[in-house]
Structure formats: C-alpha cells, structure tokens
Amino acid sequence: MNYSQQRAKNIVTELLAMANININGKEPWDIKVNNPRFYNRLLRSTSLGLGESYMDGWWDCKDIANLISKLLQANVEEKVKKKWKLLLQLIPHKLLNFQTKKRSLIVGKKHYDIGNDLYQHMLDQNMNYSCGYWKNTTSLDEAQHNKLELICRKLCLKPGMKLLDIGCGWGAMAKHAALNYGVEVVGITISEEQRKLAQEHCAGLPISIRFQDYRDINEKFDRIVSIGMIEHVGYKNYQKLMKIAYQALKKGGIFLLHTIGSNKSSINTDKWISKYIFPNSQLPSIAQIGTAIEKLFVMEDWHNFGSDYDKTLMSWYNNFNKHNHTIKSKYNDHFYRMWNYYLLSCAGSFRARHNQLWQVVLSKKGIPGGYYTPR
C-alpha cells in the first residue's frame, strides 16, 4: 500500500518518535532523509526497505548502531508489519528446506568468497570472524585470542587428541589448538576462498582443511567445535547437525557450540540480512537448540556474552573504514554503504540485547564427577 507522501511521512515520524528518534533531528541517532520516497519504502518493506534505502543513499545517520538499538528496544518494526502479510511470508519457510546441501553453498559464494583481502582489512590479525571475548581487554586481537583460549579450555584439550572444527573459517581456531594444545585438527568449510587461505595459515601443522559439508562427516573425534556455523544450518537441520556431532564423538567426548542466538524461536530471518549478507541464514533459540540436543547430549554449560559482540562489530567497523579508499576502489560505494550498514545494524542489535552470543558445552552421557567451566 502506498500512502500520500505527507501521510507516509507523518506515520513514520510518529513511529520513530516511539523510539525517541526524530527526522532531521540533532541527536546522532536521528535520521536525515535525503529522498522523500523513503517513507513509503519503509512502511512497505520494513527492515528490507530500511536497509535498501540506506544503501541507495535515501537517508543518513551519524550513529546507525544506536538508531537500530533504539528501534529494536521500542519494537517499532512489529508496529509496522501487517499480520496477514507476515503469515504469507512464513509459508515457504514451513514447507521448504532452505539449507539443503546444494543451497548451503550459496552463502559461501555470496559472502565468504567475495575477497579474502576484505576480511584481512576488517578482522583481527588471525582472522577470527566471530565474537571476541572482551574480559579484561580493550584490544580486538586480545579479545579474539581470549575467545580461542576460552574454547580450548572449555573443551579440555590434551595433546594427542583429534579435534573437528565445523565451519573452520580461515583456520584461526585450528591453528591455535594445534600450536598451543598439541592436538590434530580437521577443519571443514563450504568456502573455497577460506579453504585456500586456511591451508596457508596452517601449513606445517597437523591440520587438514577440507571443503566439506557437515553432513558428509564420517570419522571419530575426541572433541568437536563449531564457531558461528549453526546460523547457516536452518531449523529443519538443527537435530541432524546434533546427531552427526553425536555420532562423530568418541566416548567421553565434548562438543562446544558457539553461536549467535535469538530471544525467541523463529523459522525465518531478517529479510535484508538474508538478501544481502547471509543467504538462507537463521538464528537458533534456546528452545530450538534444546529440542535438537534432546536424547543426545547432556548440556554441561551455557555461557552468554552477547554484549561482547557489540564491541567486536564496532572494532570491525573501525578497521573496515580505515581502508575505505582501498575497499571502494575494488568494490563500489553501494557495497561500501551496504557493509557499513551490516556491521552497524548488527552492533545495534546486540546493544539492544535483541540477539545473544552463546557458548554451549555438550557431552556424551555427562562428564563423570561433573563439569567445571572456565570463564
């Protein structure tokens, strides 16, 4: 439905005011509208319209992270959505599996394969593309090192063990575990570009990096870790992933799941994120993970440090913008605005505590005598 331009502006102004956001206001989180068509686009397409209109230069904001945080805290999007329209959008997600083996490769090509140099500019020195652990540090490199060390300690790694890294990225976890804990590592990824660079990073170590789907795992391991991978699995496949991990673990094994989490169960995802950043992605909830591990694993520990993702994303944003001229010359201004919006809107989501970051420690039949987790 299209309103008159003035009517649309009045509705949007009223909705934004609920979050203490003003059109062309003085606060850094206020929106400066450059194209009056923005108002109808926002009402018609909600989060997708907000992101796309920013990419097209229809609005600007000095502090997008706080803008998004305020919008989420005020639940503005739910006030815009039409319930019947939302219901129709959910029907395909109920009927179809958007994360089949064939479709799972889409995110590798569209997101992770767009250029290793982009991620080298943005990430820490060891190229961790997941939330850092910021306890007792203000440095991205230290926060990412602390995260890897925390995971290794939670896994109770010992020399001679064999570790499976599902969704190994550019090899940071595999390299840290092999160098510091004397373990053999198999890392799998669905990104060819990640695989190539990870093999370079891990050269000379007892590490095998493979281009492989998690559904093709048929070996036994002492430990399994998955960092930021289940977000690409989809709710129809959560239990399949857990069954495969269970079967791949030796007796007494431990599986650590590191994932972004949603406060509520859902079978779809944010339309802008799905279209432009992570195709076919979905964030699991506590209930969905709980259902997937039922009758398989004992949950030994559930650690939430979601607020640390705000700091991580803002560090990536700062690194990304230090190389803005280089990035713009390779890509274009449209991509540059898209990527900035991605990083800042995600930071705002964690700032609002709309999303969480969980590390879940799972064991086969329970750890004898109990499990005591490091923090």
Tens of pLDDT, residues 232-258: 999 999 999 999 999 999 999 999 999
Distance CA 52, CA 35 (A): 13
What's the confidence (pLDDT) of residue 115?
Answer: 77
What's the confidence (pLDDT) of residue 312?
Answer: 98
Tens of pLDDT, residues 28-61: 999 999 999 999 999 888 899 999 999 999 999 9
168 is catalytic: no
Tens of pLDDT, residues 126-162: 999 999 999 999 999 999 999 999 999 999 999 999 9
User: Among residues of the chain, what percentage have pLDDT more than 70?
Assistant: 90
What are the sequence ranges of the domains in the chain? 5-81, 101-364
CA 354, 290, 233, 273: dihedral to nearest 10 degrees? Answer: -10
pTM score = 0.91
Name the pLDDT band for 100 (thresholds 50, 70, 90): low
H-only helix segments in 234-282: 238-248, 271-276
Which two three-digit tokens encode residue 90? 């959910």
Distance CA 104, CA 107 (A): 6
Contact between 320 and 121 under an 8 Å Cβ cutoff? The reply is: yes
Tens of pLDDT, residues 255-311: 999 999 999 999 878 889 999 998 888 999 999 999 999 999 999 999 999 999 999
Assign domain 101-364 to its CATH architecture: 3-Layer(aba) Sandwich (3.40)
SS3 content of the chain, % helix, strand, coil (to 5): 50, 15, 35
Beta-bridged to residue 259, according to DSSP, are: 358
Name the range with the highest mean pLDDT among 86-90, 150-154, 370-374. Answer: 150-154
Please identify which residue in the block is written with the tokens 């020399």. 159
Q: Give the H/E segment covering residue 173.
A: helix 172-181
Tens of pLDDT, residues 168-185: 999 999 999 999 999 999
| Span between the terminal Cα atoms of the chain, in Å | 51
